[in-house]
């Protein structure tokens, strides 16, 4: 399986896990947006919490042609990078699109090593 197809499956599983975990709220829908053609993936809330409109993106991922996953937005508690790495995506294949380009080479997750919890 090529890298893009492998990462697409991982992203879909993460989206499914988030949908199963996030509690439902009256008048607010939690949605998974999966655009496999353009490779954009989001989890978001949309609806009303009177008197305010709710429109929150929890995370937005892009899967690029070169096999890298770009994190465009991340408001998750643990960080979506942790979810991706736990699923087998190496830090070198993840880019933090919301960070300034000059800072990206210095982010710690690039040096994280995966630990096999089954050892």
Tell me, yes or no, whether 24 lies in a domain: yes
Note whether 7 and 95 are within 8 A (CB). Answer: no
Q: Does residue 118 fall inside a structural domain?
A: no
Give the contacts of 77 (CB within 8 A, at least 6 positions apart): none
Q: Is residue 9 part of a domain?
A: yes
Q: Tell me, yes or no, whether 46 lies in a domain.
A: yes
Does residue 70 sit within a domain?
A: yes
Tell me, yes or no, whether 14 lies in a domain: yes
Check residues 3 and 112 and name the one with the higher pLDDT: 3
pTM: 0.83
User: Do residues 71 and 78 lie in contact, with contact meaning Cβ atoms separated by under 8 Å?
Assistant: no
Task: Quote the pLDDT of residue 115.
Answer: 46
Please report whether residue 19 resides in a domain: yes
For 95, other C-beta atoms within 10 Å of its C-beta total: 20
Q: What is the pLDDT of residue 112?
A: 54
Q: What percent of the chain shows pLDDT beyond 90?
A: 59
Whether 117 is in a domain gets the answer no
pLDDT of residue 118 exceeding 50, the answer is no
Confidence of residue 110 (pLDDT cuts 50, 70, 90): low
Tell me the residue range of the domain where 74 lies. Answer: 3-111
d(CA 92, CA 85): 10
pLDDT in tens, 7-62: 999 999 999 998 888 777 888 999 999 999 999 999 999 999 889 999 999 999 99
Query: Given pLDDT bands bounded at 50, 70 and 90, which one contains residue 103?
Result: confident
Task: Give the number of domains in the chain.
Answer: 1
**pLDDT for the residue 69:** 96
Q: What is the CATH number of the domain that holds 71?
A: 3.30.310.110
Structure tokens at 49: 């919490």
């Amino acid at each position: 399986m090529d890298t893009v197809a492998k990462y697409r499956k991982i992203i879909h599983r993460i989206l499914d896990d988030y949908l199963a975990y996030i509690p439902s709220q009256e008048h607010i829908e939690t949605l998974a947006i999966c655009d496999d053609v353009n490779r954009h993936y989001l989890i978001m809330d949309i609806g009303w919490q009177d008197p305010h409109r709710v429109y929150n993106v929890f995370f937005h991922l892009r899967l690029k042609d070169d096999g890298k996953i770009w994190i465009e937005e991340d408001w998750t508690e643990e960080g979506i990078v942790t979810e991706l790495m736990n699923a087998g995506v190496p830090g070198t294949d993840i880019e933090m699109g919301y960070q300034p380009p000059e800072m990206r080479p210095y982010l710690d997750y690039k040096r994280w090593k995966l630990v096999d919890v089954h050892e």
